[in-house]
Amino acid sequence: MKIKEFINEFEKLIPIKQAEDFDNVGLLCGNPERGISGILVAHDALESVIDEAIEKNFNLVVCFHPIVFSGLKSITGKNYVERAVLKALENKIAIYAIHTAFDNDYFGVNYKICEVLGLTDQKILMPKQNQLKKLEVYVPVDSAENLKNALFQAGSGNIGFYDECSFSINGNGTFRPLEGSSPVTGNHNERENADEVLVSVIFEDFKKNQILSAMKQNHPYEEVAYQLISLDNENHYTGLGRFGDLEVEMDEKDFLQFVKDKFDLKVIRHSSLIDKKIKKVGVLGGSGASGIKSALASKCDAYLTGDVKYHDFFSAEDKMLICDIGHFESEQFVTQQLFEILSEKFTIFAIAKTTKKTNPVNYFI
């Protein structure tokens, strides 16, 4: 299997286009035409990880964080980013990063955090905005079912844990073929009445091109009558963060010890204790101070994330316990998650987790 073929199949599982706009995801370096000898899964594609890939004779590293985040004006090995990329290029090793595409995925980073905490009644903390579109297309009655099937196959009609969702209205359409047209039915310069169906489906914006392509390829008319409508609806199955309920509410100190044990933490930085019972918990893996307001709005009793700055802790407003458990620590399950996803989907080449430590933060206790 070529790298480009792997990417095409992998992105059916975790669409790269659901990543945040600021992110740098996908194939960061390497020849997409090259065949895969093996995949090494890592949190960060550091030079030590590239060395391990060389030792294993693997030529693709699938990582969570993009080693190249901002533009490189040169690649001479003068810093840790350039050294990793340079060594990968010299040894014909490709690097593919998933990052916020997996953060936003329903079964991604934050799903696992909630699973570890045993949270129930889970919801997305910050659902994707301005992502959903509706396609309305008019099609002859006898072609409606075939068109719907094609649209479903292209990825439309998926709503949460339902697929092949659509709505249809029967009606009568008119058109008059002019000279130069090639109508399926009717004669030039004569008005035609046709029994038609208005088919409506919803889809994520990043699927637009493939949806429209499927529509045009499977529609009998020379000129397809359709419209795209941008929806204000939030996508409640894609977005950053999550929140849910503990099975049994806890005192703040008991909750902090519970989190410490579950995540095997040496320390937790937290806001002031306010003598509040903890039941509803929000989470956002990585640098998640941006989710504090959403957690408050969702009436969370506690919020777990990483990289919380001094002034961010004041944002708790004595209404919620903010817990900084560490950037890497909040994402510590990602490598195993990706390894399991890849191992189940791809069985024709070796897949392994890195043995290298990539967390740059250390603690002196």
Residue pair 232/205 in contact by the 8 Å Cβ criterion: no
Q: What is the mean pLDDT of each run of 10 residues along the chain (365 residues)?
A: 97 95 96 98 98 98 96 92 97 98 97 98 95 97 97 95 96 93 90 95 96 97 96 95 97 98 97 96 97 98 98 96 98 98 96 97 90
The alpha carbon of residue 3 and the mean position of all alpha carbons in its chain are separated, in whole angstroms, by: 20
Distance (Å, whole) CA 50 – CA 363: 26
Query: What pLDDT is attached to residue 5?
Result: 98
- Across 6-40, b (16+ Cβ under 10 Å) vs e yields bbeebbeebbbebbeeebbbbbbbbeeeeebeebb
Render pLDDT for 278-317 as a digit per residue (tens, 0 to 9): 999 999 999 999 999 999 999 999 999 999 999 999 999 9
Query: What pLDDT is attached to residue 161?
Result: 92
Query: What pLDDT is attached to residue 71?
Result: 85
Closest CA to 17 of 340, 235, 289: 235
Residue appearing with tokens 């600021």: 22
Scanning 14-108, the segments in alpha helix (DSSP H) are 47-56, 80-90, 99-103
Distance (Å, whole) CA 300 – CA 242: 11
Put simply, whether the predicted model's pTM sits higher than 0.85 gets the answer yes
Render pLDDT for 72-120 as a digit per residue (tens, 0 to 9): 899 999 999 999 999 999 999 999 999 999 999 999 999 999 999 999 9
